[in-house]
Amino acid sequence: MAFRTVVISNETELHVQSGQLVVIQERTVRIPLEDIAVLVLEHPRTHVSAAALSLLTEQGVAVAVCDGKHMPTGLLLPCCQHSRQLAVTRQQLGQTQPQRKRLWQRLIRSKIDNQAACLDALHLTDSARLREYSAAVQSGDVTGMEAAAARLYFRRLIPTATRRSPEGPGGSLDYCYAVLRAAIARSLVGHGFYPAVGVHHDSQLNAFNLADDILEPYRPFADYLAIKEETDVQIRADRQRLLSVLQTPCLIQDKMHSVLTAIETTTSSLARAMAERDPTALALPSLIAQAVVPELLPE
């Protein structure tokens, strides 16, 4: 299983040879394609051929391209490689509105529970109130518990700034969310989903509505890492630290895994939940305060 996130931060030539990504800088490094989940191209002078990009996507690697501020702005994903692509797409499109609302209810409850756990991990107050909000989430979140929880959560998480303030950690959060989103989109496509068709998100301008749905319960893992490490997205070492969100330990189906592995479990269980018309089959991650540490988790 792929487990590595590779970031190209210097002027580089990239080639694919004998099943390996060849990274040519001051010295040459070779990385097996089967080990790579996400490739992030940060430096504007990264030279990669169309043939190499084709081989990367054939291997299931998500390739993210960044702008001058190091923020991911584009994503290249594998196309239609699942053996049951049409069957999965039909199941996805065949979900009724009540079924979509119940899936969204589970996603938002998980998100708010993880926000509460994030506050606990950071020794901040009001996690109990967030858990009350989680318990009150109804089908489709018609009473807006997600928004109420977000207001309280970010007031505690970022007391000196707003979520979008330029002086706050917003850039680090957005960067970390983008990394998670790329990994989720990669996994969804690998399981045969059409990522533009969401459970709740339905923007006609968004090619990754479903990825944004699945992202919700994973956001607090990014929040914890960015706030705990006090990262600045403009600093290269801090961006490297933010990428480790995919190796953060989490609990899913009563077992400890990395976030990257948990994403695979969530997307595979989503296929089962849709096929069986059973939203309770959707497996979602739990942020465990004592397990959320910056060290990388080996697979």
Query: For 11-42, how does the pLDDT look when each residue is reduced to its tens digit (9 = 90+)?
Result: 999 999 999 999 999 899 999 999 998 999 99
Select, from the ranges 177-181, 231-235, 288-292, the one with the highest average predicted confidence (pLDDT): 177-181
C-alpha to C-alpha distance for 197 and 213, rounded to whole angstroms:
10
* Helix/strand/coil percent split, the chain, to 5: 50, 15, 35
Q: Does residue 297 lie in a domain region?
A: no
Q: What is the pLDDT of residues 140-192, one digit of tens each?
A: 999 999 999 999 999 999 988 766 666 678 899 999 999 999 999 999 988 88
Domain boundary among 30, 52, 76: 76
234, part of any domain: yes
Instruction: Specify the number of domains making up the chain.
Output: 2
Q: Could you give the CA distance from residue 10 to residue 47 in angstroms, rounded to a whole number?
A: 11
d(CA 139, CA 162): 29
Judgement on whether residues 27 and 167 belong to the same structural domain of the protein: no
What confidence tens digit (pLDDT) does each residue in 59-102 have?
A: 889 899 998 888 888 888 877 555 566 788 888 999 999 999 99
Structural domain harbouring 152 = 85-291
Rounded to whole angstroms, what are the CA distances from 36 to 1, 178, 253, 268?
9, 17, 25, 19
What percentage of the chain reaches a pLDDT higher than 90? 69
Alpha-carbon torsion (23, 29, 32, 37), positive or negative: negative
Q: Does residue 27 sit in the same domain as residue 110?
A: no
pLDDT tens per residue, range 117-132? 999 999 999 999 999 9
CATH number, domain of 212, equals: 1.20.120.920
Question: CA 94 to CA 90: how far, in whole Å?
Answer: 6
Q: Does residue 264 sit within a domain?
A: yes
201 and 223 belong to one structural domain:
yes
- In this prediction, residue 257 carries a pLDDT of 93
Same domain, 274 and 250: yes
